[in-house]
Amino acid sequence: MSAITDQNTPPALELAPYKSLDEDVLAERIEAVRAEMGSRLMILGHHYQRDEVIAHADLRGDSYKLSELAAADRRCRAIAFCGVHFMAETADILANRPKRLQERDGQRVPVILPDMAAGCSLADLADINQVEDCWEQLANVIDVEDLMPITYVNSAAALKAFCGRHGGIVCTSANARAVLEWALGRRSRALFFPDQHLGRNTALAMGVPPEEMALWNPNREPLGGNSEEAVRRSRIVLWRGHCSVHQMFLPEHVEHFRKKYPDIKIIVHPECMMEVVGQADVSGSTGTIIRAVEEAPSGTRWAIGTELHLVNRLKHEYPDQEIHFLAPQVSMCATMYRIDLAHLCWSLENLTAGTPVNVIRVDDQTAPWALKALERMLEVK
């Protein structure tokens, strides 16, 4: 949503002229804003961003870590999040939580998403109405007081708030196992959304058998396409969602590289389907993938199953290793790719002109409950 302005506020700068500027000009103007604002501005770049945008980022990383680091910086007075919508929401929740607002005498840190069309196909596969309907249907079959809701951080703030209200929690791909163990240590069942693959792969690694997992399809009635017996038997109810990028990696891609290079190491993100994860040498978060490459000896041969921009960046940064993209076709985060230098420059210059655009603000009813679910995650060791 855009910032609220009064009648004395000048009109925002239009985007159209920026689209005709050369990238070198845009880069110079972005750096001029960074120089003017100094430590008051934090530009965050997700690992999947295009390289020309990453070049201007103060921090690069995964979605939650970026939000956490920016929110912890006492000097920061504005955040430009080069990522997608749910990431900017999380940054707003953390940067403007009550403790931080008190430290700044109530001054909010605006969180700007350079292109409002930068969404997430995974997050879009579960909305709050669907999740609440799922909860109500499950309550007719099992005791939902004994059901722990877990939402992957790749979800809207409303879903995080749902978990907060129901005693639930948020997870990342890095801490999914610790969170699921925490959940099942407190309640006998868990509802995991929106990514079925991360939930399934995590539960399988913990020893939960497939027959104790029910797959909830929000577009099927009744009970998400499940029988009452299947729901009662389940320890994990998985939401039928997936990442469009990681869904592209298939078992035959792994088989191709194993046959061509017997010594190759296969490393994939846990958002990949279980048939791919089961054949990989390593499965882990974006941070895990990066560290594995960083720590590997020269000459190591990899096939990596995650977003294309990150894989290509690793190829460039570690030329002493042989790095392949696991899929034969392009598999990139198209919505993340919407953010370019034109949008970044436009949003930053509007910020310095006093006409901020694309300011993401989570409403006051949602933010406290979403924060509660995020804080529970931070307590999990």
pLDDT, one tens digit per residue, over 109-123 is 999 999 999 999 999
Q: What is the C-alpha separation between 196 and 127, in angstroms, rounded?
A: 15
Residue 205 vs residues 209, 234, 237, 273, 285: alpha-carbon distances, Å: 9, 16, 16, 13, 15
Inform me whether the pLDDT recorded for 66 exceeds 50.
Answer: yes
Q: What is the C-alpha separation between 162 and 10, in angstroms, rounded?
A: 38
pLDDT tens sequence across 17-62: 999 999 999 999 999 999 999 999 999 999 989 999 999 999 998 8
pLDDT tens sequence across 349-375: 999 999 999 999 999 999 999 999 999
Hey, what are 114's tokens?
Answer: 């350079």
Q: Which CATH superfamily is domain 246-325 in?
A: NadA-like (3.40.50.10800)
Mean pLDDT, residues 150-157 taken together? 97
Q: What is the C-alpha separation between 302 and 368, in angstroms, rounded?
A: 43
pLDDT score recorded for residue 8: 63
> Considering only the top CATH level, what class is 123-243?
alpha beta
CATH number of the domain located at residue range(s) 16-119+337-363 in this protein: 3.40.50.10800
Listed by start position, the domains of the chain span: 16-119+337-363, 123-243, 246-325
Closest CA to 171 of 132, 135, 201: 201
Closest CA to 30 of 365, 369, 280, 339: 339
pLDDT score recorded for residue 6: 45
Q: What is the Cα gyration radius of the chain?
A: 22
Mean pLDDT, residues 324-329 taken together? 93
Cis amide prior to 218 (ω within 30 degrees): no
pLDDT band at 2 (very low <50, low <70, confident <90, very high): very low
pLDDT band at 330 (very low <50, low <70, confident <90, very high): confident
User: Is the whole-model pTM more than 0.85?
Assistant: yes
Q: Among residues of the chain, what percentage have pLDDT more than 70?
A: 98
Mean pLDDT for the chain overall: 95
- 370 forms bridges with which residues in the sheet? none
Residues 6+ apart with CB under 8 A from 211: 233
pLDDT band at 70 (very low <50, low <70, confident <90, very high): confident
Inform me whether the pLDDT recorded for 7 exceeds 70.
Answer: no
pLDDT tens sequence across 94-111: 999 999 999 999 999 999
